[in-house]
Structure 1
Amino acid sequence: MNPEDLERLVTLKMPFGKYEGTLIADLPGPYLNWFARKGFPEGQIGRLLHLMHEIDHNGLKELLEPLRARQ
């Protein structure tokens, strides 16, 4: 993980699927869990979804609040 990925979580929107247009940081836990079970997509979006899943699963969403405030 690099610091830019944390910034992307609060700025990049989901490009496809049920939650298309939703910020990755705002995706619901069950949706992230579904990806964890089925497999994350390749590339940047998959890496970010995996990172968001880890943050959500470990109860660390509040760590993104300072980044949200900067937006």
Structure 2
Amino acid sequence: MFNQQSLELLVTRSMPFGKYQGRIIADLPGDYLAWFARKGFPTGELGELLALMHEVDHNGLSDLLVPLRRKHGC
């Protein structure tokens, strides 16, 4: 699921609920993403994006998002 569109959604889509409601998914803390990884990601697109962001964060690949952040003014 590492495609351009999904990566762009990480820097443009915000968390719709919870403690970090309104925060861009790419800006969610690693421990919050790890909590979802342990407890289970939500179903649907949001869950897929959170799982992708967890993989990006866990594997130290956040630099992949820098050009996308610039492109979208984040």
Letter in 1 for 2:10: L
Partner residue, 1:54: 55
Letter in 1 for 2:12: T
Per-residue CA distance 1:10-36 (angstroms, 9 max, x = gap): 000000011000000000000000000
Secondary structure at the residue paired with 1:30?
A: helix
TM-score by length of 2: 0.94
Percent identity, aligned pairs only, is 68
Structure 2: gaps of 5 or more residues = none
**Regions of 4+ moved over 2 Å:** none
CA distance in 2 between partners of 1:51 and 1:43 (Å): 13
* Aligned-residue RMSD, C-alpha: 0.5
CA distance in 2 between partners of 1:36 and 1:58 (Å): 14
Structure 1 residue 3, shift from structure 2 partner: 1.9
CA distance in 1 between partners of 2:54 and 2:33 (Å): 5
CA distance in 1 between partners of 2:4 and 2:61 (Å): 15
Structure 1: gaps of 5 or more residues = none
Which aligned pairs between 1:27-46 and structure 2 lie closer than 5 A?
Answer: 27-46=28-47
TM-score by length of 1: 0.98
